[in-house]
């Protein structure tokens, strides 16, 4: 059996010194290569902290984070991150926004000048994949919120990250746009098969997109339960209205309600 | 029905055009109106010329003294411009440093504030002792008075880069200098240009202060000489020339701003309203 792609083992994270807030405690989780995992939990449970630990932005106070067989000890450029806020640069057009990581991350940074045409084609292909063909020359403020988030997703993907860390990327969108983007996300995953860790508070979203849904306890957060989602892909939005799907969502909701009461039983 | 809607659309467009014409003409109308009221008040109340000269008297004086006015304004323009360019270079670099490093910010900011609170007129005598009366004290006063707004604005622009964006770039392995060059500086540009508009006008104040204290040319010097001779119309002529130079430089700063950072003022008809001052 191959070792997991991401291995988080007994991780604790405390902010602001010994007396500071404990955001995570004894958090452990494994994610296989190419797996799509969603992390859900009550607000303030340390989901975003988890993201920053895995991408090496912060070192954990305790425990180890291993990605692709190596302990993470600094920024992890095989990862791509996307947030609720699209954070596109208003002075760059969409194409140049998508290509921003290529100007930073090696080896693309070195190759960009010589192979600009190839990289530009790649960015255009990505924009086409998320349905933004023809918007390359537009500026972010000329696009709707959903379109900005699609462009942000392209920026996350442009350097071919093997690990995607998504922090509530669809959280600020209206329901219809969000459902559109779920399908975009599914298409991206099917096309590129990256390992994905999606942090969300939308249970329907988690069940629709993920192979496995992990539930975190309230702060200090740790993984207290997990639920496999048996549906094959591609999944269709109509499925989310079926009774079996709804049952999974309800089951997760009960577990989170328990977690919020702080008396969750560890079913792992 | 469509003919009527076309007609009303035409009427709306006509109203919009009229409004735009009015907006363009308004600065001139207001200025001319102010001078007219001024002239009328002086004549009506029979105000003596050494208290408040009428605009016509000032214009007369301008015509009479056009040559010294021109050479001295040129001298002031030059000192102001040199001081302003120094302020831009220094302010931009210090702003980047302060905006990107918490340590530099903590260390330098109190000192900067203290420095900015010192009235620059009190510094001029020191500058005169160091550099002698004339060109350099005026340049340096213009510089000292105008670099502070630039520093503060550039630092603000750089320090307020969204933390998520910083995380995205840091995770990709971006060095701090990359983040400043790719995000911080472009982001700070609207702040920078807004500060230029403030800086250029206060730079005039700086060089004229210095010229009135210690110089043998410049519009400040001219006004000092004129007032010692009780030539009040010439003093006012100097003030008006200074005002005109200030407006011209402001206009130059706004034009550069519009050309370079149009993205920041999108959707507003007139960026001058949004960031003015």
Integer-rounded Cα Rg, in Å, for chain A is 19
Structure tokens at B156: 């603000």
| Edge-to-edge strand list for the sheet holding A79-83 | A79-83, A163-167, A195-199, A36-40, A212-216, A223-228
Distance separating alpha carbons of residues A223 and A231, to the nearest angstrom: 23
B178 touches chain A (CB under 8 A): yes
For residue B90, the model assigns a pLDDT of 95
Mean pLDDT of chain B: 87
- pLDDT range class, residue B238, cuts 50, 70, 90: very high
| CB pair distance less than 8 Å for A90 and B182 | no
User: What phi, psi does A170 have (nearest 5°)?
Assistant: -105, 10
Residue B9's pLDDT is what?
A: 84
pLDDT band at A265 (very low <50, low <70, confident <90, very high): very low
What strands, in cross-sheet order, belong to the sheet with A22-31? A22-31, A6-14, A62-67, A70-71
CB contact under 8 A, A77 and B173: yes
What is the pLDDT, as a whole number, of residue B130?
Answer: 92
Domain range summary for chain A, segments of one domain joined by +: 85-161
What tokens appear for B272 in the block?
């001058």
Which is more confidently placed, A96 or A263? Answer: A96
Q: Is the pLDDT of residue B277 over 50?
A: no
Predicted pLDDT at A175: 87
Task: Give residue A61's pLDDT.
Answer: 85
Contacts with B178 from chain A: Cβ below 8 Å = 103-104
Q: Which among A110, A94, A76, A98 is positioned nearest to A5, based on CA atoms? A: A76
Number of A–B residue contacts, CB under 8 Å: 65
What pLDDT is recorded for position A262?
58
Q: Is the pLDDT of residue B2 over 70?
A: no
Give the confidence band of B3 by pLDDT, cuts at 50, 70, 90.
low
Distance between CA atoms of residues B170 and B177, nearest Å: 11
Peptide bond into B141 cis (omega under 30): no
Write out the DSSP string of A140-165: GGGS-HHHHHHHHHHHHHTT--SEEE
Q: Which of A86-95, A124-133, A256-265 has the lowest mean pLDDT?
A: A256-265
Distance, CA of A127 to CA of A116 (rounded, Å): 16
Alpha-carbon gap, residue A15 to A60, rounded angstroms = 10
At B75-128, the pLDDT tens digits run 999 999 999 999 999 999 999 999 888 888 889 889 988 988 988 888 899 999
Read off the pLDDT of each residue in A100-108 and give the average, rounded to a whole number: 85
Phi then psi for residue A231, to 5 deg, are -70, 135
Residue B255 confidence class, pLDDT cut points 50, 70, 90: confident
**What average pLDDT does the segment A183-188 reach?**
89
Write down the pLDDT at residue B75: 92
A21 near A15, Cβ under 8 Å? Answer: yes
CA distances from B99 to A19, B143, B164 (A): 29, 21, 17
For chain A, what percentages of helix, strand and coil (3-state, to nearest 5) are there? 35, 20, 40
Structure tokens at B5: 């809607």
Question: B171, A83: Cβ pair inside 8 Å?
Answer: no
Is the minimum CB–CB distance between B272 and chain A shorter than 8 Å? no
**Distance of alpha carbon A201 from alpha carbon B87, whole angstroms:** 50
Instruction: Evaluate whether ipTM surpasses 0.85.
Output: no
CA distance A117 to A138: 19
Helix (H, G, I), strand (E, B) or coil at A199: strand
Q: Which of the given ranges, A20-24, A28-32, A242-246, B61-65, has the highest pLDDT on average?
A: B61-65
Mean of the per-residue pLDDT values of chain A: 85
In contact, B179 and B161? CB cutoff 8 Å: yes
């Amino acid at each position: 059996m191959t070792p997991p792609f991401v291995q988080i083992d007994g991780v604790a994270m405390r902010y602001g010194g010994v007396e500071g807030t404990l955001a995570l405690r004894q958090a452990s989780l494994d994610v296989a290569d190419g797996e799509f995992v969603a992390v859900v939990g009550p607000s303030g449970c340390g989901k975003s902290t988890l993201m920053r630990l895995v991408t090496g932005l912060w070192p954990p106070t305790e425990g180890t984070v291993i990605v692709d067989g190596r302990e993470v000890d600094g920024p992890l450029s095989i990862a791509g991150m996307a947030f609720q806020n699209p954070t596109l640069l208003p002075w760059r057009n969409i194409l140049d926004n998508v290509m921003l990581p290529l100007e930073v991350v090696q080896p693309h940074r070195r190759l960009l000048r010589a192979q600009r045409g190839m990289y530009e084609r790649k960015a255009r292909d990505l924009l086409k994949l998320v349905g933004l063909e023809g918007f390359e020359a537009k500026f972010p403020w000329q696009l709707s919120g959903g379109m900005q988030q699609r462009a942000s997703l392209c920026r996350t993907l442009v350097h071919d990250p093997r690990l995607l860390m998504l922090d509530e990327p669809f959280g600020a969108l209206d329901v219809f746009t969000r459902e559109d983007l779920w399908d975009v996300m599914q298409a991206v995953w099917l096309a590129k098969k990256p390992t994905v860790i999606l942090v969300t508070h939308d249970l329907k979203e988690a069940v629709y997109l993920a192979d496995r849904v992990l539930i975190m306890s309230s702060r200090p957060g740790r993984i207290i339960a997990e639920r496999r989602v048996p549906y094959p892909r591609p999944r269709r939005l109509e499925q989310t209205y079926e009774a079996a799907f709804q049952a999974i969502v309800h089951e997760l909701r009960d577990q989170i309600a328990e977690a919020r009461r702080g008396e969750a039983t560890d079913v792992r | 029905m469509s003919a009527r809607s076309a007609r009303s659309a035409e009427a709306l467009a006509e109203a919009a055009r009229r409004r735009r014409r009015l907006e363009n003409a308004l600065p001139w109308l207001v200025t001319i109106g102010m001078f007219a009221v001024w002239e009328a008040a002086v004549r009506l109340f029979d105000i003596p010329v050494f208290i408040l000269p009428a605009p016509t008297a000032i214009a007369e004086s301008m015509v009479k003294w056009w040559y010294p006015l021109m050479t001295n304004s040129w001298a002031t323009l030059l000192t102001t411009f040199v001081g302003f360019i120094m302020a831009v270079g220094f302010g931009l670099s210090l702003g980047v440093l302060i905006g990107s490093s918490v340590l530099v910010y903590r260390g330098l900011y109190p000192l900067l504030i203290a420095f900015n609170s010192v009235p620059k007129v009190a510094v001029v005598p020191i500058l005169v002792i160091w550099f002698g009366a004339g060109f350099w004290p005026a340049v340096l006063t213009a510089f000292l008075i105008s670099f502070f707004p630039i520093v503060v604005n550039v630092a603000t622009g750089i320090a307020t880069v969204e933390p998520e964006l910083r995380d995205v770039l840091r995770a990709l392995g971006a060095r701090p200098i990359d983040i400043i060059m790719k995000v911080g500086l472009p982001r700070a540009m609207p702040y920078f240009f807004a500060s230029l508009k403030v800086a250029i006008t206060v730079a005039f104040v700086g060089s004229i202060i210095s010229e009135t204290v210690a110089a043998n040319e410049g519009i400040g010097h001219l006004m000092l000489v004129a007032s010692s001779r009780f030539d009040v119309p010439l003093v006012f002529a100097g003030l008006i020339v200074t005002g005109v130079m200030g407006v011209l430089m402001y206009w130059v700063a706004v034009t550069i701003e519009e050309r370079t950072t149009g993205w920041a003022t999108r959707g507003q008809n007139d960026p001058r309203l949004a960031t003015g001052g």
